[in-house]
Amino acid sequence: MAEAPVVRLEKDGDIGVIIVNYPPVNALGPGVADGIIECLNKANGDPSIKAMVLMGDGRSFIAGADIRGFGTGRKRPPLGERTYDVMDRSPKPVVAAIHGYALGGGLENAMGCHYRIAVESAKVGLPEVLIGILPGGGGTQRLPRLAGPQVALDMIVSGRHVPAPEALKLGILDEVIPDSANLRQAAVAKARAVADIRPLPRVRDRDCKADPAIFDAMRKSIARRARNQKAPYHCILAVEAACTLPFDEGMKREQELFQELENADEAKALRYAFFAEREVAKLPDLPPGIVPYDFRKPAVIGAGTMGGGIAMSFADFGYDVRIMDASTEALNRGMERIRNNYATSVKRGSLAQDEMERRLARIHPVAGYDGIEDCDVVVEAVFERMDVKKPVFARLDEVVNKDAFLFSNTSALDMDELAAVTKRPEKVAGTHFFSPANVMKLLEVVRPKKASPETLVTAMAMGKKIGKISAMAGNTDGFVANRSRAPFNSEMVILLEEGCLPEQVDKVMVDFGYPMGPFAVGDLAGLDIGAEGRKRRAAADPNYRKLPIADKLVEMGRYGQKTGAGWYRYEKGDRTPHPDPEVAAIIRQVAAEMGVPQRSFTDQEILRRLLFSSVNEACKILEEGKAYRTSDVDVMWLHGFGFPRYRGGLFYWADGIGVREVYNQIANWHQQYGDRWRPSALLRQLAESGTPFRDAKPAPFA
C-alpha cells in the first residue's frame, strides 16, 4: 500500500482544505513544507476553489520545525520561496485552523496565513529560544506586526506557550471557538465568508514601530537569567530589526542571526536537553504496552513542608487531593503554609486570586486514616526516618483500598525495606520530590525490586500529570540524583580546607551558570540538615570522610539564613549573602588543626574538582545498574540542581571536555587524595576505548 502523503488537499465544496499529517505532533519534517507549497499551488490553480484552510491531523496543528534536522547540514529553500512566501503571494485567502499546538514554524506558518481561528484549548508560541535559536521563519518579523513589539519581545524571549483565549486578546488570533465545536467546519465557514475580501490582509503589510527604549529594557531585564547565552539577545536584535527595517530586509537580518545560532554550542546543548527530557520517560526493560493507571483520588500523608508542596502540585494540575496528618495542629499549620505559599504567588503577580481560591478548594485536609480509605494513589511524606515511615506504611496497607498504589517521598531510605512492611510490595515505589515540591520539576521514581511494571509506569505518569519530569532511579543510598551530587557537596568543603573561600567557590559556579553558588544554597536550605545526614553516614561507615569545617559552623549555631549566619553573614530581613571574616578565620583555624597546607586555586580547578567528583560517582551508579542512561542523570541535574541548561547536563558537559581527560584527572586526584577519588570501572573502560559518555552502556537495571 502506498504511504499516506504528509500533506494532502481535500475539497470541501468551494474550499480547499490542506491537511498536514506528520505524526506525532506535525513537526515540519521531510516533505511537509514542500507538501504545503504544492497544495497551495494546486488550490490556487483550481478555479473551483475560492479559499483555503490549513490545518493539522491528529493531536496538533504544527509543532514547529523538525528539531532532529537541526545541525545536520539540512537545506532550506532560499528566502522568497518558503511556505509563508507562497501564502503572501497567494491570490486566494488562507485560513489557519489551529488545535493542539502552533509552535515555532507552526505559528510562523499560521501568521503567513491571512486569518487564524483556533479552539479554546490550543496554544501558540515561538519557543525557539528554549532550544538556543530564534524563530527563523519570519516569526520575529510577523509577530511584532501582529501583536505589537512589546508582546512579541516578551513571547519570543521567554518562549512561553500562550493559551488561545489570551492570543485572541493579543491580536494573534482572529477567532476562538469552543473545543466542542467542529474546527474544520468553522474554518471552512470562515474561509467562505472571507473568500471575496480584497485586498487580502497580509501580516507583512502591517506597520511596525517601537519605542527603542523597550529593547534595552528587555536586555537589562534578562541580564541575570540569560548570562553566558546568545539566543535571547539575538531574539531581541531580530525584533528590533522588525521595527527599524522594511519587511524583506528584516527577514534577511532574521536569517543571518538564525544562522549564527543554529550550530553554536548553546543550541546543541539545548537540543540535547530537549531530547534527553523525552528519552527519560522511556523504561526500556519493561514489557511494552503497559498502561499507567489513571488515578483520580490522590492523597498525601503528612502536612509538613514537603507534603504541602506535593499536595499543591496535585491541586495545581486540577486534582482534588486529600492531605492527611495525625495531628490537627500540624494539619492546620500545613494548610496555613499552603495558603501563604499561594498568597506569595498572588502578590508576585504569577497567580490570579480566583485561581488561588480554586486551587485551595481542591486541597482537602483530613485528620485520620479513615478519610483516605478510598484513595487510589497515596504519597507518603512523613518525617524522613525508617522507624517513622514503617508504621505509617503498615497502617496505610491495612486501611487504604487494596488496589491503591503506595508511594513514599523519601530522599534516601531503602525502598525494598519499606515495601516489605506491606502485603502489596508490588504496588509500592519511591517518589522523591525535590524541595520546594510545588516548584521543582524533578520527580525521581525509585524502583524497589518487587514493584510491578504497572506501578512503575503509574508513578512515572503521575509525575508527568502534575507537571514534573519523572526519571527512574535504582534503590541505592541517595538514589541517583542525591548520590551523584554527594561528592560535590563534600568536595566543596574540602576545597576550603585547602585554601578556598566560600565566596570564591560560589563565584566560579555562578559564572559557570548556576543561579546561586552551592554555599549560598546551603545557607538557604539550612546547614543543620546536611549535618544530620553526615552524622548518620559517619555512624554507618567508619571510612566516612568527615567535614570538620561544616560541622564547626553548625556547632556554633550558624545554620544559614534562618540564624542570620552560615557560610555567609546576613543583615536582618535581607537575604543577600555577605562574605564573613569570621568564617575565613574558622577555615584557617580548622585547616591548621588538620595540618592541611594552604594554596591558591584556578577557577577551572574549582569547577572540575566539584563536577568531576560527581561524574565519577554517576559512573559508579550506572555501572551498578541504578540508572538507565547518562542522559537521565543529565535531566536530573538540570531539574533537581539547577545545572545550567545551555550546558546540557553533567555528562554532556563532561563529554565536551573529553572522557580521557576526565579520567586522567580523576586518576591523578586518586593518587593525590586517596580512595574518595577511586575512578569508576565504567569510566576507565570508556576512557580506554575512547567512548564518549553519551554512548556508555550501563549495566542492566538492578
Q: Which set of grid coordinates corresponds to residue 489?
A: 557537596
577: Cα separation from own chain's centroid: 28
A 10 A CB-CB count for 531 gives: 17
- The 3-state DSSP class for residue 119 equals strand
Handedness of CA 576, 580, 586, 589 (dihedral sign): positive
438 neighbors 313 (Cβ within 8 angstroms): yes
Contacts 24+ apart (CB under 8 A), 655-662: 655/692, 655/693, 655/694, 656/265, 659/683, 659/686, 659/687, 659/690, 659/691, 659/692, 659/693, 660/687, 660/690, 662/612, 662/615, 662/687
- At 187, which amino acid appears? A
Q: Which set of grid coordinates corresponds to residue 484?
A: 551523584
- Locus of grid cell 488496589: 403
What are the phi and psi torsion angles at 330 (to 5°)?
-60, -40
Contact residues for 45 (Cβ-Cβ < 8 A; gap 6+): none
- Of all helices (H) and strands (E), which one includes residue 115? strand 115-119
Alpha-carbon distance of 429 to 122, in angstroms, equals 35
Alpha-carbon distance of 503 to 501, in angstroms, equals 5
What are the phi and psi torsion angles at 116 (to 5°)?
-135, 125
Alpha-carbon distance of 385 to 658, in angstroms, equals 40
Q: Which set of grid coordinates corresponds to residue 538?
A: 559517619
Helices 603-623 and 502-512 pack at an angle, to 10 degrees, of 70
Catalytically active residues are 108, 128
Q: Which set of grid coordinates corresponds to residue 573?
A: 530581613
Alpha-carbon distance of 550 to 531, in angstroms, equals 8
Alpha-carbon distance of 438 to 206, in angstroms, equals 43
175 neighbors 190 (Cβ within 8 angstroms): yes
Alpha-carbon distance of 53 to 94, in angstroms, equals 5
Distances 676 to 127, 487, 543, 664, 667 between C-alpha atoms, Å: 43, 8, 10, 15, 11
Alpha-carbon distance of 444 to 474, in angstroms, equals 9
Tell which residue, 311, 368, 375, 366, has the closest CA to residue 337: 311
DSSP code for 131: G
- The 3-state DSSP class for residue 51 equals strand
- Bond prior to 581 in cis (omega within 30° of 0): no
Alpha-carbon distance of 660 to 557, in angstroms, equals 44
The total number of residues written for the chain in this structure: 702
**DSSP codes of every residue in 229-287:** -SHHHHHHHHHHHHHHS-HHHHHHHHHHHHHHHHTSHHHHHHHHHHHHHHHTT--TTSP
46 neighbors 73 (Cβ within 8 angstroms): no
Q: Which set of grid coordinates corresponds to residue 72?
A: 545536520
Which residues are at the interface with ligand 3HC (CB under 6 A)?
A: 24-25, 27, 63-68, 101, 103-105, 108, 127-128, 131, 135-137, 139, 278
| Closer CB to ligand 3HC, 279 or 624, in the complex | 279
